[in-house]
């Protein structure tokens, strides 16, 4: 009955392109509308949504059950661990069916006589989509700045609140990047202005409270549009930073926070290929730098000598097998985050040269330095999670390393972590590289005999590592016998900087090959049934899905392809599309024929052909600012035209959201329930 439904058929309007003497014809180029107002396009998206709903209607009860299961594991009344920042302790609370939180502060850790400073539910109640980007209190604790987005395009409006009276100030700053940094005068704020065409932050303005935005002063403009722009404040709050980062180059400008009307100065001469992270504390700048150090090294320099690398003092030397990922400075110690063989650990150093390691015992896990705003603290807060351990906050004594569990996320229902098991295995790819793979399953449901359904997830881009963290929603699959797998393919930094570099530009094909080779190996190792293999990915992971099913469609019963980057070549040739110029060092600039040919060889949209493809669920957001809605829309239309099978192809567009999907803590579960129901419905009745 389901397959008898008729999917929408898109019209074909040939659009011809020629680059480097190579001609392409795009029959669905007409689907692009930057204003998102074309009635024909909107009607087609709504028809796709109706078709998706009709296809999934027989599984509506399953989807509802999955949603209620996932929602039922979430603690309705919950709060974060209070954090001290200046005179006050801060916490966030959620209650009942609320989608968003309420922010409080108090003068003690017990939160006695707590003061409500922002109720996000009130702010969001008139909007289908609402995202709070940043919430930051002025140095004198009197004013609150917050930035919000109400359409999912990640274009934020900054507002200000008097915490004594609860009244909003008249100041409203529009079209910002979503960050506010306070000058130490409590009257000056800095923000990044967005280019509304490319959606790139490219200008920094200074605003003085009580004046109109039209009078704000432009303090810096970046001419090279390959750089992302952000703001920050030094650990000792003495300086304000403008952070500029291209894929392969870093740059920082600084300003005395006590003199916010001064001029920003460049910290170091900009050098192509030099990437670094920066912190200032007291008389020193500390840099995690890749200068002569692919995996980074830690150096420091007195403030007036940092611009001369010959004056840098090396504290931690480069190592070929250890990636330095982070630095947190305290009065008495500093904490380095390291990754070796894919595993994170912390090394606690004092300033006299002594150090010790702080690690965890799970087979595979994620840990990170949590929010630690007070440099005078005697302990460091660490966040921790594994595939079988819910998100936890530990307080670790800086002198002894003793860990105290402050809070662990509660999972309602009958969840028992001992009933689940995780593994880390390494699989040999076709070129001999060993790919790390994280695996989790429910012990009572798993037999290593090649009978279990298996869902494999991947990303593999930008050096971003998908670490093995706990997901209460994934329990709904594990409890139904699924094995869940994360393939840590090249393009991430799981195995250091080289792992990333061997998964981008001319080496991008390695990411796709790794993913396919992991799937084949897991079937051979009998972790999953060859006829019950699923795969999922979003954004650059959606590109991964498109490339994988072009290469090896026969391996997968079902695919989840979310906010996917599928029309890589056309997008990378168009500098008017948001984020294109920033991506040249990731994918290559196709205006150069070498990279044109590389991207053409794998771009999922350009490589669709007449053959059988897996059952596929595609999702996007109409207001997506990262990957425009028309990429998946075009890909679905072309795939429908070419595929020779009668497998399902359904496409759902959230007409209110952007790249991150639906907002709120419960709304987003509907998207997860849809994918799970889609996958489970494809299994034989006996296996559901």
Active site residues: 539, 624, 659
* CA atoms of 569 and 571, how far apart (whole Å): 5
CA of 61: how far to CAs of 35, 53, 673, in Å? 37, 13, 11
Query: Within 10 A of 39 (CB to CB), how many other CB atoms are there?
Result: 8
Q: Where are the beta strands (DSSP E) in 341-467?
A: 343-350, 355-358, 365-369, 379-386, 392-397, 403-408, 420-428, 434-442, 454-457
* CA atoms of 635 and 567, how far apart (whole Å): 8
DSSP string spanning 90-154? Answer: EEEEE-TT-SS-EEEEESSTT-TT-EEEEEHHHHHTT-SS-EEEEEEE-TTSSEEEEEEESSSS-
* CA atoms of 524 and 569, how far apart (whole Å): 35
Residue 336's φ and ψ, nearest 5 degrees, are -105, 130
Q: Do the Cβ atoms of 473 and 554 come closer than 8 Å?
A: no
Sign, CA dihedral 641-642-643-649, equals negative
Burial of 9 (0-12, 13-18, 19+ CB in 10 A): exposed
Would you mind telling me the total number of residues written for the chain in this entry?
A: 688
Helix (H) or strand (E) holding 230: strand 228-233
Q: Do the Cβ atoms of 550 and 571 come closer than 8 Å?
A: no
- Please name the residues in contact with 155: beta carbons below 8 A apart, sequence gap of 6 or more: 149, 175, 176, 194, 196, 199, 625
**CA end-to-end span of the chain:** 19
* Joined tokens for residue 76: 């309705």
Please, how many CA atoms are within 13 Å of residue 633, restricted to the half-sphere of its CB?
Answer: 30
* CA atoms of 573 and 27, how far apart (whole Å): 17
Listed in sequence order, the DSSP H helices in 552-629 are: 568-572, 584-587, 593-602
């Amino acid at each position: 009955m389901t397959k008898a439904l008729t999917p929408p058929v898109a019209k074909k309007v040939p659009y011809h392109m020629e680059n480097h003497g190579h001609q392409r014809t795009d029959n669905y180029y007409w689907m692009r509308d930057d204003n998102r107002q074309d009635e024909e396009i909107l009607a087609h998206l709504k028809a796709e949504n109706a078709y998706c709903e009709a296809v999934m209607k027989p599984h509506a009860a399953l989807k509802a059950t999955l949603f209620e299961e996932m929602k039922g594991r979430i603690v309705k009344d919950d709060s974060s661990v209070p954090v001290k920042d200046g005179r006050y302790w801060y916490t966030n609370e959620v209650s009942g069916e609320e989608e968003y939180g309420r922010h409080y502060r108090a003068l003690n850790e017990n939160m006695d006589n707590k003061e409500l400073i922002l109720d996000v539910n009130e702010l969001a109640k008139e909007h289908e989509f609402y995202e709070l980007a940043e919430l930051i209190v002025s140095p004198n604790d009197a004013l609150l700045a917050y930035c919000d987005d109400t359409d999912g395009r990640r274009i934020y409006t900054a507002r200000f609140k008097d915490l004594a009276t609860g009244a909003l100030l008249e100041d409203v700053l529009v079209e910002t990047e979503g960050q506010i940094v306070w000058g130490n005068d409590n009257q000056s704020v800095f923000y990044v202005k967005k280019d509304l065409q490319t959606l790139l932050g490219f200008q920094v303005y200074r605003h003085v409270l009580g004046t109109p935005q039209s009078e704000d002063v432009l303090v810096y403009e970046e001419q090279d549009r390959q750089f992302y722009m952000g703001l920050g404040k030094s650990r000792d709050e003495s300086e304000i930073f403008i952070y500029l980062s291209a894929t392969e180059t870093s740059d920082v400008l600084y300003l005395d926070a006590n003199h916010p009307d001064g001029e920003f100065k460049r910290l170091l001469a900009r050098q192509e290929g030099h990437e670094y992270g920066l912190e200032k504390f007291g008389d020193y700048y500390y840099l995690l730098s890749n200068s002569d150090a692919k995996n980074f090294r830690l150096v420091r320099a007195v403030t007036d000598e940092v611009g001369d690398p010959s004056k840098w003092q090396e504290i931690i030397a480069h190592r070929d097998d250890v990636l330095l990922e982070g630095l947190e400075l305290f009065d008495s110690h500093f904490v380095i985050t390291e990754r070796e063989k894919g595993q994170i650990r912390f090394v606690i150093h004092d300033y006299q040269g002594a150090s010790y390691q702080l690690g965890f015992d799970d087979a595979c896990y994620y840990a990170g330095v949590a929010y630690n705003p007070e440099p005078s603290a005697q302990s460091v807060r660490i966040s921790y999670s594994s595939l079988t351990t819910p998100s936890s906050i530990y307080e670790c004594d800086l002198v002894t390393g003793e860990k105290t569990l402050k809070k662990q996320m509660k999972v309602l229902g009958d969840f028992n972590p001992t009933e689940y098991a995780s593994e880390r295995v390494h699989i040999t790819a076709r070129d001999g590289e060993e790919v790390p793979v994280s695996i989790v399953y429910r012990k009572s449901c798993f037999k290593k005999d090649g009978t279990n359904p298996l869902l494999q997830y991947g990303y593999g881009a930008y050096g971003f590592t998908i670490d093995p963290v706990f997901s209460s929603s994934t329990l709904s699959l594990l409890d139904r016998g699924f094995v869940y797998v994360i393939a840590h393919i090249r393009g991430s930094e799981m195995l250091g900087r080289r792992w990333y570099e061997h998964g981008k530009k001319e080496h991008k094909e390695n990411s796709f090959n790794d993913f396919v080779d992991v799937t084949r190996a897991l079937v051979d190792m009998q972790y999953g049934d060859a006829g019950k293999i699923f795969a999922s990915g979003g954004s650059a992971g959606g590109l991964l899905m498109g490339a994988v099913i072009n290469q090896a469609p026969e391996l997968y019963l079902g695919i989840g392809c979310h906010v996917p980057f599928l029309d890589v070549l056309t997008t990378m040739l168009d500098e008017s599309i948001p984020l294109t110029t920033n991506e040249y060092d990731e994918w290559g600039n196709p205006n150069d024929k070498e990279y044109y040919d590389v991207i053409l060889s794998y771009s999922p949209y350009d490589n669709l052909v007449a053959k059988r493809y897996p059952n596929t669920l595609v999702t996007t957001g109409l207001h997506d600012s990262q990957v425009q809605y028309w990429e998946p829309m075009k890909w679905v239309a072309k795939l429908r035209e070419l595929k020779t099978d009668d497998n399902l192809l359904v496409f759902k567009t959230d007409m209110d959201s952007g790249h991150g999907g639906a907002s709120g803590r419960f709304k987003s579960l509907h998207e997860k329930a849809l994918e799970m129901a889609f996958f489970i419905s494809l299994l034989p009745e006996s296996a559901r």
